């Protein structure tokens, strides 16, 4: 297996980075079956450095969630599925940041939920990351309170170029992937993305040292990440919405507003996937999903919300999802 590296310039002007899915020229061409070692900046491109920094003062809202990529995947065509296996996701630094942002988050008014109240106070929390102990330390700002939380690195944004020539902000999730903000996107997981344009144009970023389900305030423990992925291609197999597969679960996603429509997309996709893998009728699959599915909330803060639906692979009775791609990529990862 070939391994390639792509290194970002840590001193590059943040305005020159990639902040969209679609619309950007590829930075590298990659053959399917290749392992890619690279790193991603945090969602603020490193501009929030201390508890005294305020996002509204140090960040331009046009330049949030810089992406690493896009990568041109050789041979990828519309109707194929890109498989991205996360071999490792590790914090690049011993610190992370989280903030409140004016009129952003689940518990404040927003531009589309218009209320006559002032913005919540803007604050910045600095988290110490102990990579050896696998801990993230929360320290309260207004009281002497600290607690250690498990380190659980993930990527909030993973996606390809959208269909129809669209260019979408890296703050938005959709059927191309994007800013789904699901904690399920961790090391050991394979993400499946439907290819919409030649070369797929795969990008990712928005590293989180950890995140609660829902990402309630809108900002996780944001940090730069060193990441290794294996990128592969499933020819002739479409994937209407992003899917994930771990050793124990198959997982579907849906992004929409209101939240119940995101729920419906995720569960409809899980029902269809289960039926395709097992030969069950749609109604039989619907009944099994109804009794066995788990539904973690990914985010309720982005431009639209994302829900996931996950089904234990034990109910598949030995079926190999997506042609056994996850198991094959797991074996490749073990050889690195």
Rounded average pLDDT per 10-residue block, the chain, 336 residues: 92 89 97 98 95 94 95 98 98 97 93 90 97 98 97 98 97 98 98 98 98 97 98 97 98 97 98 98 98 98 97 96 98 95
List, as one string, the DSSP characters of 274-336: HHHHH---HHHHHHHHHHH-B--EEESSSSSEEEEEEEEGGGGTT--GGGGHHHHHHHHHHT-
Can you tell me which residue has the tokens 């290194």?
Answer: 7
pLDDT at 330: 97
Starting at the earlier edge strand, list the strands of the sheet with 28-30. Answer: 28-30, 67-73, 202-208, 154-159, 177-179, 173-174
Can you tell me which residue has the tokens 């034990």?
Answer: 314
Cα angle 274-293-89, degrees, rounded to a multiple of 5:
90
pLDDT at 119: 92
How far from chain centre, in Å, is Cα 68? 13
Stated length of the chain: 336
Residue 259: phi and psi, rounded to 5, are -60, -35
User: Could you read off the pLDDT of 175-218 as tens digits, one per residue?
Assistant: 999 999 999 999 999 999 999 999 999 999 999 999 999 999 99
Judge whether 36 and 231 are in contact, CB under 8 Å: yes
Query: pTM of the entire structure?
Result: 0.97
pLDDT at 112: 86
């Amino acid at each position: 297996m070939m391994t390639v590296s792509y290194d970002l310039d840590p001193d590059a002007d943040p305005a020159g980075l990639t902040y969209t899915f679609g619309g950007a020229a590829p930075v590298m061409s990659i053959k399917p079956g290749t392992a890619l070692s690279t790193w991603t900046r945090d969602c603020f491109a490193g501009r929030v450095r201390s508890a005294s920094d305020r996002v509204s003062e140090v960040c331009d809202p046009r330049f949030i969630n810089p992406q690493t990529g896009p990568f041109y995947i050789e041979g990828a065509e519309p109707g194929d599925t890109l498989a991205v296996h996360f071999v490792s996701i590790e914090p690049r630094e011993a610190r992370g940041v989280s903030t409140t942002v004016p009129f952003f988050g689940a518990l404040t008014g927003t531009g589309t939920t218009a209320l006559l109240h002032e913005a919540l106070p803007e604050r910045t929390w600095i988290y110490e990351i102990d990579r050896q102990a696998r801990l993230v330390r929360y320290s309260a700002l207004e009281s002497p309170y600290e607690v250690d939380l498990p380190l659980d690195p993930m990527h909030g944004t993973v996606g390809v170029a959208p269909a129809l020539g669209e260019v979408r902000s890296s703050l938005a999730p959709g059927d191309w992937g994007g800013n789904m903000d699901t904690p399920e996107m961790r090391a050991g997981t394979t993400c499946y993305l439907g290819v919409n344009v030649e070369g797929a144009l795969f990008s990712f970023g928005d590293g989180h040292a950890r995140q609660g389900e829902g990402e309630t305030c809108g900002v996780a423990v944001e940090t730069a990440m060193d990441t290794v992925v294996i990128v592969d291609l499933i020819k002739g197999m479409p994937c209407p919405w992003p899917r994930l597969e771990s050793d124990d679960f198959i997982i579907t996603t849906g992004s929409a507003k209101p939240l119940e429509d995101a729920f419906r997309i995720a569960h409809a996709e899980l029902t269809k996937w289960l039926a395709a893998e097992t030969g069950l009728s749609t109604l039989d699959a619907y009944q099994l999903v109804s009794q066995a599915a788990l539904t973690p909330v990914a985010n309720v803060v982005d431009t639209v919300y994302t829900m996931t639906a996950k089904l234990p692979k034990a109910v598949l009775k030995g079926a190999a999802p997506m042609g056994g791609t996850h198991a094959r990529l797991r074996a490749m990862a073990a050889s690195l």
